[in-house]
Amino acid sequence: MSGRIGVGMIGYKFMGKAHSNAWRQVGPFFDAPLKPDLKVVCGRDGEKTARMAERWGWERAVTDWRKVIEAPDVTIVDICSPNDTHREIAVAALEAGKIVACEKPLARDGREAEAMAAAARKSGRLNTVWFNYRRVPAVAFARQLIAEGRIGKVFHFRALYLQDWTLDASVPLLWRMDRETAGSGVTGDLLSHIVDLSNFLMDQDMASVSAASRIFINERERPEGGRAKVEIEDACVFLCRYSGGALGHFEATRFANGRKNGNTFEINGELGSLYFNLEDMTRLWYFDSREAKHVQGWREIPVWEECHPYMKNWWVPGCAIGYEHTFTNQAADLLAAIDGDTAMRPDFDDGLRCQRVLDAVLESAGTGKWVDVNLNTGEREA
Amino acid sequence: MSGRIGVGMIGYKFMGKAHSNAWRQVGPFFDAPLKPDLKVVCGRDGEKTARMAERWGWERAVTDWRKVIEAPDVTIVDICSPNDTHREIAVAALEAGKIVACEKPLARDGREAEAMAAAARKSGRLNTVWFNYRRVPAVAFARQLIAEGRIGKVFHFRALYLQDWTLDASVPLLWRMDRETAGSGVTGDLLSHIVDLSNFLMDQDMASVSAASRIFINERERPEGGRAKVEIEDACVFLCRYSGGALGHFEATRFANGRKNGNTFEINGELGSLYFNLEDMTRLWYFDSREAKHVQGWREIPVWEECHPYMKNWWVPGCAIGYEHTFTNQAADLLAAIDGDTAMRPDFDDGLRCQRVLDAVLESAGTGKWVDVNLNTGEREA
Amino acid sequence: MSGRIGVGMIGYKFMGKAHSNAWRQVGPFFDAPLKPDLKVVCGRDGEKTARMAERWGWERAVTDWRKVIEAPDVTIVDICSPNDTHREIAVAALEAGKIVACEKPLARDGREAEAMAAAARKSGRLNTVWFNYRRVPAVAFARQLIAEGRIGKVFHFRALYLQDWTLDASVPLLWRMDRETAGSGVTGDLLSHIVDLSNFLMDQDMASVSAASRIFINERERPEGGRAKVEIEDACVFLCRYSGGALGHFEATRFANGRKNGNTFEINGELGSLYFNLEDMTRLWYFDSREAKHVQGWREIPVWEECHPYMKNWWVPGCAIGYEHTFTNQAADLLAAIDGDTAMRPDFDDGLRCQRVLDAVLESAGTGKWVDVNLNTGEREA
Amino acid sequence: MSGRIGVGMIGYKFMGKAHSNAWRQVGPFFDAPLKPDLKVVCGRDGEKTARMAERWGWERAVTDWRKVIEAPDVTIVDICSPNDTHREIAVAALEAGKIVACEKPLARDGREAEAMAAAARKSGRLNTVWFNYRRVPAVAFARQLIAEGRIGKVFHFRALYLQDWTLDASVPLLWRMDRETAGSGVTGDLLSHIVDLSNFLMDQDMASVSAASRIFINERERPEGGRAKVEIEDACVFLCRYSGGALGHFEATRFANGRKNGNTFEINGELGSLYFNLEDMTRLWYFDSREAKHVQGWREIPVWEECHPYMKNWWVPGCAIGYEHTFTNQAADLLAAIDGDTAMRPDFDDGLRCQRVLDAVLESAGTGKWVDVNLNTGEREA
């Protein structure tokens, strides 16, 4: 299959901008024969959505998401509306035979994610979750180095996701801080990313977790006025025992003053180690203990050579890409998978696996007990 | 003025890709009322140019640059063909009343640049040189800090532009290494950038220079076959005396193994210092000696806050932008200048000032003597 | 009091070298009127101890530690023998009226530490534990910045102590890996340091912990031949709830390939943050969110100015000190405390508080439950 | 030869402290059979010198340097008095058959240095200049990597020595700023170090130089009162052509705000590159372009392993040493050379070679012309 493919997007704010850019950029930058057409964007506010459509090149704007799903010229349904809308839209889209790309976290909890993963499996259509950090070239490259056997048996995985934007008590209770809409706080928003990176990078499963969480500011203004109790966690930390014996620890917070997008991970293995920091996303740090002792050291690898993942599509060595390109890379991979009829990851089963870990984390934070993680998805049970 | 404005681009390879992207992206990302239409792209190879046009959304492709200049739907002529073509095209475009945006270096030498700057002044049309690194947010921010008086009287400016891509003797003699086409080697290609940054950042003029240059590999294959003598410099270093007493040194090379785009500068003033490295372009380092002694230190400022130059048009704090955005920022500023009928910098006079320094550098490298720099352009003499 | 004071040291290997150096160097480098005389060193191997004494300037060598305690010319007893000897020697020395300086960890467990702290309180003599990292100038400076109110209410404390020297399965089962001698593995050896730093830096107590530990290599050669089961933990991680609501996490391991002395901590507060890494011990990183938004950034403060803790005794700005100086700084503080009849910290009660946390950590690692920390020492209960 | 060797030191201030420490520490830390006795220290102020002697363990203090040279128990004469005293003392000491260790720069100019090098050659006694940065383990290690052939043919050497302590106009005109006493400003004080490092590391000679210098503050208070014109340069930069075709540039200044001891060098060769920064002296950065392309990167090698130069004498991996140890390392090498009757470098001929470069630099800064460097010493001419 090649030629053009129609995309319909539901949601039009920050993530709508990131996704629109991806659909616009993937054509010229990637060689894939399949090119997307930006057919329709959907948002609840008709006027704003229409302006967004004009600005970003969507052919038309609608306010009812069902119109997107019913549109015969739409093959890919891209969901970037708030978490509480994911399940209903995704299931309907899959049932309508659409290919679905859903923002992370897949859902508000494992129960919702289960329904979505089941619908995906039943539909037989390609589906993906926008865990875009898998497509940071340095992260994809980390996986490549692991696959090359450069790290060996892993002893430790530690990952942080540190932000500070809700430190200020005057920040209102946006939807990301609303339990009904978001499902959880930093757990769904930030831990989801680093749990997915563990699932992506580690060849050991997360087996059990012990967690603690905190709400540091108990009450905030609602954007629409009035004060409300904050019910979602500002910070969440957990320990993890892996199936192969490794020890992990994870932390996400919006109260780490001075850290803006401090998504870092370090993997320590018997042959080497890797370190990544999203705030310096061009680099991967690599330590190789097989080298001659006197020249051993952490190597700062700028991941911008043609031989690095995705980079031959962009510029030349020395020219960094940034945040937005991770979405474009994922869009390119999805189009290539559609074109080549191959698998696409992360899929809804990956989203479900992540959600199972998050559910265990939240349960542990509530009960104070270690909680086993059930990573079996329907697919595996079958 | 608002609405749409037609762009015609001459040149379609690496820089053509960077410029095309800028014209495509400036619309959705910037609020400026004036939006560009990608009307026509021109290249010597008709078939390749046509493919490029289709891929990047140019309405039509031509092989004769005069067609671009004659096109009534083209208001901005964007020149990104090799250096030896700049003068003829730019002068013709200006005489045709076009707004001209020309890739750097403005010309192969000061004589050519003089003719171009004179034509620009005579035309009264806006004109600019793509010294895109002025629009790295961290660099524009450096200028802002200087304007805020945070550095004070400057004692030292030191700038490097280190690359390594011609270290390999098997790299053929591309046009950038051909004297007739490029005019010079690293002087026009790399020193031009850091000389322009000095002109952009320093409130002192470069008064005189002492230089040395080297050709490390004397002969290379021609892309079309056969060996040729390399006549342009692989490396060029120079000292600079500034009009206000500061001392500068500058180095450009393509033989710094491990440095890919190592464009760095440091400014030391009586109140503070600044440091920038293009390989880590998101950051500006700032030292403030007015702070309490015990907390003085170099501060790594990630230039991604809404309050930083250009950044409110992109994503949110913590989300880096990259190489390509510098061009988009410049396109946005040009459109805003056209729209608002305000000045645009760097203009051809800036390009000429840079070229005057480069001429002095090359003369000094040849004679072994200090050479005074003549920074007077016609504009100033008037 | 001023003049000379006699020191007797028990233990003569790695830590004996570090302590000997401290006693030798404190005289010339510090202005304190009280100067130490290196009277006697004690070790089990008479010949090696005698050579050590000659090399380092100890007046005499003995093989029975009781001789040190009975020596009338010894006022300070410095204990740097293995953990299992600490309690008996320290209690005897205190009962003999000596001032005691004991290597960390204070003891193998809280019960031993309790006996030692009780003996210290009863004796009324000065006593200290060599938690030398409190005297890294950058760490002491961190405490100063906190005391200046620059961080404000703390939300997060996270500390790692990463090493890799036992990764190699051929490393024999040295005393630090022997349960009987060491008491525990990385918990007593490494976690003790970062728990003490938390106690030193945080104005919140550690209230409860949830831990996990691992033995990665189950059997090793004994130095004296034969294989033995490894009974102490190679890695230990724990979460911590602080009394004031902060969340902490701590990790110590000897299996972090590429990390040699990776003792790091980060403190996030409402006004700012601090970061320290022992592998780059000259620096303290400081983020101040009260500054103007556009110039906010992590500041790398080289802690080598005269105004920084301890530094006026060493060289001049720009000249780094290293590992050994932390011991000299502590020796200087102890001599000054003796001279001025003032308090000395960390004392045995601090050692006991640390041990109480470690006991809770090991209990939690064993039971899988959150364990409350009892930080009451006898002193507080009185 | 083994046993004890007497040292007499002339000068007792900052460098006297550094040298005293070296002579005290070399005994216990190094295995060399020859141990120094601190016999006599000489200073112009009798009382201060006596206090210094007591504090640092010198057996006696004198005020006339001739007493040191005449002392039969003194074998090594260590000169750390101001530059204007070096020649007279060193020549006399050599003529008296002493081994001489002289602070850098060897002399105020090449003429003085020539006399000293001639006296050294004539005496046949070991002699050395305290270019202590050759003995930073990371610097010695850089030389080792070069000797291992890891860099290959060198294209570029660039070195900075940046300080900021005279930026403040209220800093008085100390002896280091007095032409009569110091000979020159940053040229003798700072450029000497980096010129010596070039001589140490490069297998190409410095052939010719083009320099510029500046006095930024023209008048200062004398310590003894009254104002005086500043006659020595605050900053000096120069370009260098090497005998083998490499290009160098060098800069020294005391006006680089925020740089305290910013002695950095980078060497770019055909096979790799090295980078060092004295402000982070534990590390050497190494880029190896022979590795697989995708894992190429600058490697931060912490030079603290037993296999690294000097490090087996100090602590264990992960434990940094600092500024003072460079002197101790040099003292150890001198004692080993005496003991083993082997050569010692840098010797007075190295000091002379450095001075020849500095003379050429100052001449060039004065005349504005490229000046050839005469590196022939008497030794080579013989």
Whether B320 and A318 lie within 8 Å, measured CB to CB: no
Assess whether pLDDT exceeds 70 at residue B156: yes
What is the rounded CA–CA span in Å between residue C103 and residue B52? 72
At position D23, the amino acid (one-letter code) is: W
| Neighboring chain D residues of C318 at a CB cutoff of 8 Å | 163, 260-262, 278-279
Give D258 to chain B, closest Cα distance, Å. Answer: 6
**Span A157-203, pLDDT tens digits:** 999 999 999 999 999 998 888 899 999 999 999 999 999 999 999 99
pLDDT of residue A378: 61
Task: Please give the Cα distance from A16 to A61 (Å, whole number).
Answer: 13
For residue C157, the model assigns a pLDDT of 98
Query: Could you tell me if D217 lies within 8 Å of chain B, comparing CB atoms?
Result: no
For residues B161 and B125, state if they share a domain.
Answer: no
> D54 in contact with C at a CB cutoff of 8 Å?
no
* Domain at D240, CATH number: 3.30.360.10
Mean pLDDT over all residues of chain D? 96
CB within 8 Å: A27 and B261: no
Question: DSSP labels for D97-125?
Answer: T-EEEEPSSS-SSHHHHHHHHHHHHHHT-
- Tokens representing residue A139 in the block: 């992260």
pLDDT tens per residue across span D314-366: 999 999 999 999 999 999 999 999 999 999 999 999 999 999 999 999 999 99
Quick check: D284 pLDDT over 60? yes
Checking if the pLDDT of C81 tops 50, the result is yes
| DSSP secondary structure letters along C181-237 | HHSSSHIIIIIHHHHHHHHHH-SS-EEEEEEEEE-S--EEE-TTSSEEE--S-SEEE
- A144 shares its domain with A165: yes
| Count of domains observed in chain C | 2
Same domain, B185 and B309: yes
C141 contacts in B (CB within 8 Å)? 294
Residue of B295, B303, B304 to mutate for C, most C C-beta atoms under 10 A: B295
Q: CA C234, C235, C237: angle at the middle one, nearest 5? A: 160
Closest Cβ opposite residue B294 in set C288, C297, C305: C305
Residue C309: asked if its preceding bond is cis (omega within 30°), the reply is no
User: From the centroid of its chain, how far is CA B155?
Assistant: 25
Residue B203 to residues B244, B285, D141, Cα–Cα distance (Å): 8, 20, 42
**Which residues, other chains included, contact A326 with Cβ-Cβ below 8 Å and sequence gap of 6+?**
A132, A133, A135, A136
In a domain, A275, yes or no: yes
- Select from D299, D293, B221, B182 the least CA-distant residue to A317: D293
Query: How would residue B377 be classed by pLDDT, with cut points 50, 70 and 90?
Result: confident
Q: Same structural domain for residues D125 and D142?
A: no
In a domain, B377, yes or no: no
Q: Do B273 and D259 make contact, defined as CB atoms within 8 angstroms?
A: yes
| Distance separating alpha carbons of residues C240 and C218, to the nearest angstrom | 28
Closest CA to C217 of C200, C204, C227, C230: C230
Count of CB pairs separated by less than 8 Å, B with D: 128
Q: Reduce the DSSP state of residue B308 to 3 states and report it.
A: coil
- Residue D329, in any domain of the structure: no
Q: Which residues of A touch D308 (CB under 8 A)?
A: 294
Cross-chain Cβ contact C299/B298 below 8 Å: yes
The helix (run of H) or strand (run of E) holding residue B333 is helix B325-340
Q: Is the dihedral of CA B93, B97, B98, B100 positive or negative?
A: positive
Return the residue of B nearest to D267 by Cα: B256
pLDDT (0 to 100) of residue B376: 76
Indicate the helix (H) or strand (E) that contains A1. none
Same domain, B166 and B287: yes
Determine whether the interchain pair C322/D319 forms a contact, defined as Cβ–Cβ distance below 8 Å: yes
Looking at the structure, tell me whether residues D166 and D243 fall in a common domain.
yes
- Determine the pLDDT at residue C379: 55
**Yes or no, beta carbons of C323 and D319 under 8 Å apart:** yes
Q: What chain C residue is nearest to D321 in terms of C-alpha separation?
A: C322
pLDDT of residue A382: 37
Q: Is the pLDDT of residue A71 over 80?
A: yes
Verify whether the Cβ–Cβ distance A315 to B325 is below 8 Å: no
* Close Cβ partners of B262 (under 8 Å, ≥ 6 residues apart): A318, B160, B161, B162, B163, B256, B277, B278, B279
Query: Taking CA atoms, what residue in B is nearest to D166?
Result: B270
Complex ipTM, two decimals?
A: 0.96
Residue A110 domain flag: yes
**Which residues in chain B are closer than 8 Å to D273, comparing Cβ atoms?**
256-259
Cα–Cα distance for residue pair C360/C192, rounded to 1 Å: 12
- Tell which phi-psi region holds residue C57, choosing left (phi > 0), alpha (psi between -120 and 50) or beta: left
Q: Which amino acid is at C187?
A: T
CA distances from B75 to B12, B17, B101, B126 (A): 18, 20, 11, 11
Given a cut of 60, is residue D280 above it in pLDDT? yes
Sheet of C3-10, strands arranged across: C60-62, C34-42, C3-10, C76-79, C99-103, C127-130
Min Cα distance A288 → chain D (Å) is 10
pLDDT confidence tier of residue D374, bands split at 50, 70 and 90: confident
What's the gap in Å between the CA of C307 and the closest CA on chain A? 26
Paired strand residues for A225: none
pLDDT of D382 > 60? The answer is no
> Which of B283, B294, B301 shows the shortest C-beta gap to C296?
B301
Average pLDDT over residues A218-240: 95
Q: Are residues D117 and D50 in the same domain?
A: yes
Q: Is the backbone of residue A274 left (phi > 0), alpha (psi -120 to 50) or beta?
A: beta
**Which of C27, C56, C261 is facing D319, going by the closest CB pair?**
C261
Q: Please check whether residue B376 lies inside any domain of the structure.
A: no
Is residue C154 within 8 A of residue C202, CB to CB? The reply is: yes
Alpha-carbon span A382 to B63, nearest angstrom: 60
CB nearest A212 (choices: C241, C270, C369): C241
Q: Of chain B residues 3-22, which have a CB less than 8 A from chain A?
A: 14, 18, 20-21
Residues 162-201 of C with CB under 8 A from D: 163, 165
Alpha-carbon distance of C328 to C21, in angstroms, equals: 7
Q: Suggest the residue from A213, A241, A247 to mutate for an interface test with chain C (most C CBs closer than 10 A).
A: A247
pLDDT classification of C376: cutoffs 50, 70, 90 = confident
**Which residue shows structure tokens 């010949």?**
C47
What's the mean pLDDT when you consider all of chain A? 96
Which pLDDT band holds residue A2 (cuts at 50, 70, 90)? low
CB atoms inside a 10 Å sphere around CB C281: 26
Q: What is the pLDDT of residues B230-274, one digit of tens each?
A: 999 999 999 999 999 999 999 999 999 999 999 999 999 999 999
List CB contacts (< 8 A) between D268 and chain B: 162, 164, 253, 255-259
What's the rounded Cα separation, in Å, for the pair C145 and B291?
14
In a domain, A373, yes or no: no
- Asked if B288 and B145 touch (Cβ cutoff 8 Å), the reply is no
Chain A: residue whose CA lies nearest to D301? A297
* pLDDT band of A381, cuts 50, 70, 90: very low
- Whole-number Cα distances in Å, B155 to B152, B158, C195, D190: 9, 10, 47, 17
Residues D118 and D160 in one domain: no
Which chains reach chain A with 3 or more Cβ–Cβ distances below 8 angstroms? B, C, D
Among B81, B112, B133, identify where a domain stops: B133
Helix H or strand E encompassing D34: strand D34-42
Contact check, Cβ <8 Å, C301/B305: no
pLDDT tens, position by position, A21-65: 999 999 999 998 899 999 999 999 999 999 999 999 999 999 999
Stated pTM of the model:
0.97
Residue of B nearest to A53 (CA): B28
Instruction: Give the separation between CA A26 and CA A310, rounded to whole angstroms.
Output: 12
Percentage of chain B exceeding pLDDT 70: 98
Q: Indicate whether B4 pLDDT > 90.
A: yes
On whether the CB atoms of residues D279 and D260 are closer than 8 A, the answer is yes
Same domain for C76 and C181: no
| Residues 6 or more apart in contact with residue B97 via CB below 8 angstroms | B123, B125
Q: pLDDT tens digits for C37-53?
A: 999 999 999 999 999 99
Average pLDDT, chain C: 96
Q: Count the helices and strands in chain C (H runs, E runs).
A: 12, 17
Q: How do beta strands D227-229 and D219-221 pair?
A: antiparallel
* Best C284, C299, C312 residue to mutate vs chain B (most B CBs within 10 Å): C299
Residue A154: which residues within 8 A CB-CB, separation 6 or more? A202, A203, A204, A242, A244, A246, A267, A268, A269
Asked if the bond preceding B346 is cis, omega within 30° of 0, the reply is: yes
**Out of B56, B304, B322, closest to residue A28 by CB:** B56
Q: Is C321 in Cβ contact with D325 (below 8 Å)?
A: no
Predicted local confidence at residue B147, as pLDDT = 98
Name residues whose C-beta falls within 8 Å of residue C372's C-beta, 6 or more positions apart in sequence: C207, C208, C360
Neighbouring C-alpha atoms within 13 Å toward the C-beta of D211:
28
Last residue of a domain, one of B91, B109, B133: B133
Query: Which C-chain residues 63-82 have CB contacts (< 8 A) with chain D?
Result: none
Number of H helices, E strands in chain A: 12, 17
- Between helices B325-340 and B14-29, what is the axis angle to 10°? 60
Predicted confidence at residue D381, as pLDDT, reads: 42
**Contacts for C340 with CB less than 8 Å, ≥ 6 apart:** none
At C2, is the pLDDT very low, low, confident or very high (cuts 50, 70, 90)? low
Chains that touch B (3 or more CB pairs under 8 A): A, C, D
Do C300 and B299 count as a contact with CB atoms less than 8 A apart? yes
Instruction: Check C214 against A247: CB less than 8 A apart.
Output: yes
Is D290 in the A-facing interface, judged by CB distances under 8 Å? no
**C-alpha torsion angle, residues B240, B244, B245, B246 (rounded to 10):** -60
Which phi and psi angles does A274 have, rounded to 5°? -130, 145
Give the model's pLDDT for residue A376.
Answer: 76
Quote the minimal CA–CA distance from D319 to chain C in Å.
5
CATH code, domain carrying B28? 3.40.50.720
Q: Which domain holds residue D250?
A: 135-321+354-365
> Residue D50 — φ and ψ, nearest 5°?
-65, -45
* pLDDT value at residue C378: 60
Given this model, what pLDDT does residue A379 score? 55
Partner residue facing D295 (CB), from A283, A296, A301: A301
The more confident residue out of A3 and B2 is: A3
Q: How many CB atoms lie within 10 A of CB C380?
A: 9
Question: Contact, A132 vs A327, CB < 8 A?
Answer: yes
**Which one of C323, C325, C329 would you mutate to disrupt binding with D, by most D Cβ within 10 Å of its Cβ?**
C323
pLDDT at A185: 96
Strand, coil or helix: what is A158?
strand
Per residue in B287-345, pLDDT (tens digit) is 999 999 999 999 999 999 999 999 999 999 999 999 999 999 999 999 999 999 999 99
Task: Provide the greatest CA pair distance for chain D.
Answer: 65
pLDDT (average), residues B69-74 = 98
Please provide residue A101's backbone torsions phi and psi, each rounded to the nearest 5 degrees.
-120, 115
Res. D2 pLDDT band, cuts 50 70 90: low
- Residue in chain A closest to B165 (alpha carbons) equals A317
Q: Per the CB < 8 Å rule, is A279 touching B24?
A: no
Which residues 117-156 of C are in CB contact (within 8 Å) with B? 141, 144-145
Q: Is residue A378 part of a domain?
A: no
Chosen domain end from D104, D133, D162: D133
Q: Is residue A112 domain-shared with residue A147, that is, in the same domain? A: no
Same domain, B123 and B149: no
The verdict on residue A121 lying in a domain is: yes
Same domain, A48 and A120: yes
What are the tens digits of pLDDT across the range B96-137?
999 999 999 999 999 999 999 999 999 999 999 999 999 999
* Residues D145, A299: C-beta atoms closer than 8 Å: no
- Give the C window 292-331 contacts with A, CB below 8 Å: 296, 298
Please give, one letter per residue, the 3-state secondary structure of C21-66: HHHHHHHHHCCCCEEEEEEEEECCCHHHHHHHHHHHCCCEEECCHH
